[in-house]
Every structure is written in C-alpha cells, then in structure tokens.
Structure 1
Amino acid sequence: MKGKLRYAPAVICMLAIFISSSRSGEQLDSVLPWFQEWLPFLTDFNPMHYVAYFILALTISYGMGKRAGTWKGCLLNIALCVLYGITDEWHQSFVPMRSPDLLDLLHDGMGAAAASLLVLLFYSLFNRRRTRNYSTR
C-alpha cells in the first residue's frame, strides 16, 4: 500500500472504537457475560482499553512506515492515540449510562505507549541486526 492508504487499518480501528463507545452502559452489561465465558477473569471492559489502543497504535505505526521506528514517530503515535482517546471520552458523554473517565484515558495511553515502544524496539533490533550483517561482509 502506498501513502495515505496505509492508514486505512487505523481508520477502521478508530471506527470500531467509535462504534463500541456508542453502546450504552446497559448494552455493554448485557454482552459482558458472553465475554466472561471466554475470559472468566474479566469483571468489566476496562482491560479492553489497553487492547483497543494497543491495536490502534500498531495500525498507526503501519501507516507511518519507517518513521514509526524513531523516537519522534513513537511519541507522535502515542500523542495521536491519546488525542483520539480524548475525543472518544468526550463522545461517551453523549451516550446513555456512559461518562468520560480519566482512568480510561490513562489506560488508552498505556496501551498505545506499549505498542509504540514495542514497534520502536523491533525497528531498533532489526536495524542493528541488518547493520551488523553488512559490516561483517
């Protein structure tokens, strides 16, 4: 994929987050037992913030390409995810039985930071290995 089309997975992920956030508290509570069958330790959907924003950060990294493997790209990715998290929390203020929560935003940022740092580490290790292979020839 070239250019802006590389960001399509990130847009799809943002759309999925938006749709999930549009569900009322009552709707989410009715689906929780189904998730608990697969994940018995799940008492609420708070861990899903980590997962959703981890995936969002990975998709943004894909869109960024090699820039995601720099500190500047890593920080930009986290900032974009947190910004989207802010808009998501604001959006929830209009949904019945939902409200904005700073703790949710913290979880969003933590998921995004974990993914962004993982991408940065991957690029660092990959580039170190590639550089070492060229220098031994």
Structure 2
Amino acid sequence: MQKWIPSIIVMAGIFYMSSRTSAELNHMFPFFEDLNWGHLVAYFILSMTFMYAFVGKFSLKKSMVLAVIFSVIYGFTDEWHQMYVPGRTPDIHDIVNDFIGATLGSFIYYLWLVKKLKHK
C-alpha cells in the first residue's frame, strides 16, 4: 500500500489544480500561456508514480503499459471534473498531452530501471 502514496499525492495535486479557475491558474503559472504543458508535466510525473507502484508486481513492460493506462484513465476523470469548474472545459487536446506525458514518463522510468538492473 505504501507504494501507492506517491500516486495518491500526485492525483490529489492534479485534482486541486483542476479545481482552480482559468484565471487562478494563469495567475499561479504565468509562464504557461497554455496549460497543455501542465498536463504533459503532471502526467509525466503521475505515470512514474504508477510505475513505482506496479514494479515488482508485474514485469517492467507490463508495469509501463499499466502506468500509461492508469494515467490516461485518470486524465479522463480530470477532464470530466473540469466540466464542473467555472471557466474550465474538457478538452481532447488535454487527454492527448496526458497520454504523451504519461508515455514519456513511464518510458524514462523503464529505461532508468533497466539501466539500474544491468549495473547490479
């Protein structure tokens, strides 16, 4: 169960950020003109936390696939949640960026683990 704590923390952070209005987010992150970068980064990190939770229970490749799937599923729930936040709307482009971030994050974590295992 402890291996899930990082995922829960990241998901809570994503939920919190999704609860902010567009104006609040622009004030919090003025360097992100378009928060699609935020989706890419958030889901990059989320997929790594899922990888951390899955490794040891599944093979590395299966862990990587599951991390991407779980991240994208959470991305869909995030977009659904945004339907109820003033000034926010669901956007398929956000899901695409969630997928790209999740894929990159889990793949980099996978490569790091493979390298780590080769050095043992």
Q: TM-score, normalization: structure 2?
A: 0.90
Q: Is the 8 A contact 2:26 2:33 kept in 1?
A: no
- What secondary structure does 2:34 align onto? coil
Q: Which amino acid aligns with 1:11?
A: I
Q: Is the 8 A contact 1:58 1:116 kept in 2?
A: yes
Unaligned residue ranges in structure 1 (runs of 5+): 37-41, 131-137
Matched, 1:16 2:13: yes
Distance change >3 Å, CA 91–CA 18, structure 1 → 2: same
Match of 2:112 in 1: 122
Q: Which amino acid aligns with 2:99?
A: G
Higher helix share: 1
Q: Is the 8 A contact 2:4 2:53 kept in 1?
A: yes
Q: Is the 8 A contact 1:69 1:120 kept in 2?
A: no
Q: TM-score, normalization: structure 1?
A: 0.79
Q: Which amino acid aligns with 2:88?
A: R
Q: Distance in 2 between matches of 1:97 and 1:58?
A: 30
Q: Which amino acid aligns with 2:111?
A: L
Match of 1:98 in 2: 88
Distance change >3 Å, CA 67–CA 115, structure 1 → 2: farther
Matched, 1:62 2:59: no
- What secondary structure does 2:88 align onto? coil
The structure with the largest alpha-carbon Rg is 1
- What secondary structure does 2:20 align onto? coil
Identity %: 36
Distance change >3 Å, CA 58–CA 128, structure 1 → 2: same
C-alpha displacement of 1:69: 5.7
Q: Distance in 2 between matches of 1:91 and 1:56?
A: 17
Q: Distance in 1 between matches of 2:44 and 2:83?
A: 23
Give the root-mean-square deviation of aligned CA atoms: 1.7
